[in-house]
Amino acid sequence: MLWQCRRVARLILVAGFFLFGCAQAGNSDKGDSCEAKSECPATSQCEESTCSAGRCVTSPKAQGVMCTDGICSGTGQCVAASCINGTLDGDESDVDCGGTCMPCAPGLSCAGDSDCVSGLCQNNSCSSPGCGDGIVQPPETCDDGNTTNEDGCPDGVGGTCQPSSCGDGFVDAGHEDCDDGMESSACNADCTFAVCGDGKTNASAGETCDDGNNSDADDCLDGASGLCTTATCTDGYFNQNGVNAETSVDCGGACPGSCSPPELLLSEIVTTPTGAEFIEIANIGNTAASLAGLYLSDWNGYYTMANGQTPPNDSDFVVSFPAGASVPASGKVTISLESASAFQQAYSTTPDFDFDSTDAGAPAMSGSFSGNSGLTNNGEMVVLFRWNGSADSVEDVDYLVYGSANQGMDKSGLLVGSHTYAAETSTSQQSLAPAPNATTSASRCSNSEPGESQTGGNGVGGSDETSENLSLSWQLTPPTPGAGNICP
């Protein structure tokens, strides 16, 4: 019995030694720690391993060494002998590569992607891996292979094969207007076109502000004529609504000095035929006069616009002038109540402004008017007045009533907002200018405004524009728009 026990114990020891040895031999692989070459088995028949500096290192066997399927290629692969004979044969796509041989290097012929080291066969030639090949390879995060930089993945010439983003210098069509890589005079930092009035201050374009309200009447000039610069007291614009609001152009309010009354007068009107209707304004001063903040109206309730009212009839109008408009020193401007084209046909010249925004012949007036707006032939009033856009009151600059006193206005004692208007000449006592006919205009023949009171009224500087003796200062004459009136 004893001898049987000893035999079993001996078998157990032998088995344990064998299993331990096998486990030790199986622990080493390429890169594993080792003490001897025997602990580093090769992973293929065309590779050999050695133990170097305590680590297993694997390298390919020399080309020509025999292997199961032929001979070793020298790159660790066992290939047919024909794959290293320097001849294009078998299923090779190029000499000794492709098919069942080693993959071909870039530039060599191929029949499919598997023939190439790069895995990319284009036009029967192995291509080098790169941005635009349609294969996402690090560090690429996209590659749609269409070789264009104008989509979500720039993979064209100079492309990055990174998802498109504003600032990468490539315009992503449909998502970006522009992309100069950074803010430029033509492109905002958010890759939209730089335009004054877009609400984005572009310093590269010379902008110092851009509040996006497209107005030249506040602290930032970003309207039609503005350059997105901060309003100043010398910019030639009427800052009506800003924190630094002015009383008139570059004067009063936040600007030093008071404003001089504008030396502007209504100087001529034509009421018929319809296409020939116009109003003329004369500057009797020696310096150019801005038209900023000035309005024209034939509505006898014009002063209520300060309280948000508009003309109840579409035949009446309340209009303002385009931004930057002015009257030259000792000069005149004409406003066609129709289109520039109709005015041209009637007078063989173009007006300075018109009531037709679709006619490119002249800048259009803005405000309340329609295709039916115009002057009544038999009698009506016309007033040139000033309003700063926020006050409860307006100031009369010049006033004309012709033909019928019933068409005049009298604001005496009227309350608009918090403002009460001073007494004026009643409509029944107002002097009338003559009503023009089909061949004449009503023209101012005296700039002295005879009989007009210069104090206590509702006009600029306190004048009472309703007190002028219009029958003395206005006459019927041949129409002369923009030129001197032909007075008797």
Could you list the mean pLDDT of each consecutive 10-residue stretch along the chain, which spans 488 residues? 38 35 39 81 82 86 82 82 87 93 92 89 87 85 91 91 94 94 96 95 96 90 87 85 82 79 92 96 90 93 94 94 89 97 97 96 96 94 91 94 92 96 96 96 97 95 95 97 94
> Does residue 323 form part of some domain?
yes
Give a yes or no: residue 234 inside a domain.
Answer: no
Q: How many residues does the chain have?
A: 488
Structure tokens at 59: 């390298």
**Looking at 108, 129, 150, which one is the last position of a domain?**
129
Q: Which of 250, 242, 240 is nearest to 295 (CA)?
A: 240
Tokens of residue 409, six digits:
């206005």
Q: Is residue 398 part of a domain?
A: yes
Selection from 74, 82, 128 nearest residue 101 by Cα: 82
Q: Is residue 168 part of a domain?
A: no
Alpha-carbon span 488 to 486, nearest angstrom: 7
Residue 213 lies in a domain: no
Determine contact, residues 308/458, Cβ cutoff 8 Å: no
Which among 311, 303, 318 is positioned nearest to 420, based on CA atoms? 303
Residues 17-74 pLDDT 10s: 333 333 333 334 445 788 888 888 877 888 888 888 888 888 888 887 888 878 887 8
Q: What pLDDT score was predicted for residue 134? A: 85
**123/272 same-domain check:** no
User: Is the CB of residue 450 less than 8 Å from the CB of residue 488?
Assistant: no
Give φ, ψ of 172 to 5 degrees. -85, 100
Task: Say if residue 299 is exposed, middle or buried (CB neighbours under 10 Å; 0-12, 13-18, 19+).
Answer: buried
What is the DSSP track for 178-223?
---SS--SSB-TTSSB--TTSS---GGGT-S---SS--SSSSEE-S
Contacts of 150 by beta carbon, 8 Å cutoff, 6+ apart:
156, 170, 171, 172, 173
The answer to whether 388 and 293 are in contact (CB under 8 A) is yes
Q: What is the pTM of this model?
A: 0.55
Find the domain containing 304 and state its range. 264-477
- DSSP SS3 for 365: coil
How far is 83 from 93, CA to CA, in rounded Å?
Answer: 11
What pLDDT, in 10s, does the model give residues 64-89?
788 887 888 788 888 888 888 888 99
Report the pLDDT value the prediction gives residue 386, as an integer from 0 to 100.
Answer: 92
Given 102, 129, 156, which residue is the final one in a domain?
Answer: 129
Match 């100031």 to its residue by tokens.
395
| Domain limit, last residue, from 114, 129, 144 | 129
> How many independent structural domains does the chain possess?
2
Angstrom distance (rounded) from CA 36 to CA 447: 119
Whether the CB-CB separation of 289 and 283 falls below 8 Å is answered with yes
The residues, ordered by sequence, that sit 6+ positions from 304 with a Cβ below 8 Å of its Cβ are: 416
In a domain, 204, yes or no: no
Residue 304 contacts residue 323 (beta carbons within 8 Å)? no
Domain-embedded: residue 197: no
pLDDT of residue 31: 58
Give which of 112, 52, 108 is closest to 100, Cα–Cα: 112
> 331: closest CA among 295, 364, 298, 287?
287
> CA dihedral defined by 131, 136, 138, 141, rounded to 10 degrees?
90
pLDDT at 225: 75
Q: Is residue 239 part of a domain?
A: no
The alpha carbon of residue 336 and the mean position of all alpha carbons in its chain are separated, in whole angstroms, by 33
Q: What is the pLDDT, as a whole number, of residue 13? A: 34
